[in-house]
A and B are shown apart, each in its own frame.
Chain A
Amino acid sequence: MLYKFDFSFLLEKWPAFLTGAWLTIQLTVLSIALGFVVGTLCAVARVYGGRTLRLLVGGYVELIRNTPLLVQIFIVYFGLSSVGLKLSAETSAVIALVVNMGAYTTEIMRAGIQSIHHTQLEAADCLGLTRLQTILHVVLLPAIERVYPALSSQFVLLMLASSITSQISAEELTAVANNVQSDTYRSFEVYIIVAAIYLALSLLYRLAFKAIGLIIFERRRRLGTAL
């Protein structure tokens, strides 16, 4: 093997990688938060909505889950701009990621909502809770607690998938890496470092979601038992 590894460019370029990682964190935290809201609303619509609404949400979920994120990003960025809606690369990236995240969250949350026993709803009825109160306190919170592990691994997958937005040159870690790569010609080294950063990020996200779970779900924190 004649190839000599050369990581010396790191001395000069490490701030770029840090910036890239920070941009990826901003991009994905925003997309995860919005996507979660969209997905939860859609899941409620899918379970409790009327027939038309259920069909619409079902179509949205199937459409998104059976097409590649890359193509979805292209449709938002290139497609919408050609029909007159000019968006920046970052805005397009967030929109595509939110739409994508929303579809997966809908499926996960639907499973959570359907796992709530109907006697819980009857009990809520007897206590005179309004429909909104029932959905919020009796259905959604316990549902989130039940599917929280699935949700958090979906969040981590979204963080990894956000690398695809580099293809429309949205500012994030992979795009930064592509720039460094074309400056230094050390493609292999650059992508090894980026892979390590993503690995660290996914570890960080997992720990963060675990901590958030412990803070939100009292039962799990106090008793150590799941729902």
Chain B
Amino acid sequence: MIQLNAHHIWYLIMAAQWTVLLSLLAFAGGALVGLPIALMRVSPSHTLRIVAGGYIQLIQGTPLLILLFLTYFGLGILGYKLAPLVAAGLALTLYAAAFLGEIWRGCIEAVPRTQWEASDCLGLNRFQQYAYVILPQAFRMAIPPTVGFMVQIVKNTSLASVVGFVELARAGQIVNNSTFEPFIIFCIVAAIYFAMCYPLSLASRFLERRANAGRASH
């Protein structure tokens, strides 16, 4: 049996880079899909609203683990042999899009009605209303909850370990297989996750307080 040593810790920290990469991938993908979902949710078209609402219900009612299995095995049998990174990225994208879509819908709806009316009076069309009036305001409100949701994304990348993607959690299992000191190793793994997530949690809380302070002083 090999003693736990500095190389193992270094290996875990290297693996944490993959966690970061996967998180960024999931966030970028989630944002790309989530924004249209949010816009569809507030669209005047009944069909679009139902489609987006159905998507959110579907994803939020299924465990992410099952989504991962579906993308990993599902796309595999459709003839696309996917690298675990792609399958995990896809599942996390679908997952993040549903939650970000719902968060951002709330932010768009929180922009006062009068802003819509005023921009209507100015003769802006719907695209201009969104681009110049509504979204910039919604964006500012969206930052704290979005940063908060990033914590969920980072934590949930740990599930990618089940399809064999070597990120932090999987690296922990690998190190454990050679040293067999699970308590210490998984505590170190948890500590590394904490080091990534806690600053995000703090930032989210700080931004939220600042946003509220701004509102109170007006």
Contacts and interface: CB of A to CB of B under 8 A. Distances in A.
Interface of A: 1-3, 62-63, 65-72, 74-75, 78-83, 160-161, 163-164, 166-167, 174, 187-188, 191-192, 194-195, 198-199, 202-203
B151 interface: yes
Contact of A79 (B158, B162, B169, B182): B182
A71 B159 contact: no
A66 B194 contact: yes
Contacts of B162: 167
A66 B66 contact: no
Given A68-B193, A74-B173, A194-B66, 13 more contacts: A63-B194, A67-B197, A68-B158, A71-B158, A75-B186, A79-B183, A82-B183, A160-B63, A164-B65, A167-B162, A187-B77, A188-B73, A199-B58
Given A66-B151, A66-B197, A71-B189, A191 B61 contact: no
Contact of A198 (B63, B190, B201): B63
A198 B61 contact: yes
Contacts of A166: 65
Judged by DSSP, the binding face of A is helix
A34 B53 CA distance: 33
A198 B162 CA distance: 19
B198 interface: yes
B118 interface: no
A2 B193 contact: no
Given A75-B187, A164-B65, A70 B201 contact: no
Contacts of B60: 202
Interface residues of B, number: 41
Given A66-B194, A74-B182, A191 B69 contact: yes
Contact of A69 (B151, B155, B183, B198): B155
B158 A191 contact: no
Contacts of B197: 66-67
Contacts of A188: 70, 73-74, 77
B77 A70 contact: no
A12 B74 CA distance: 22
Nearest to A81: B182
B213 interface: no
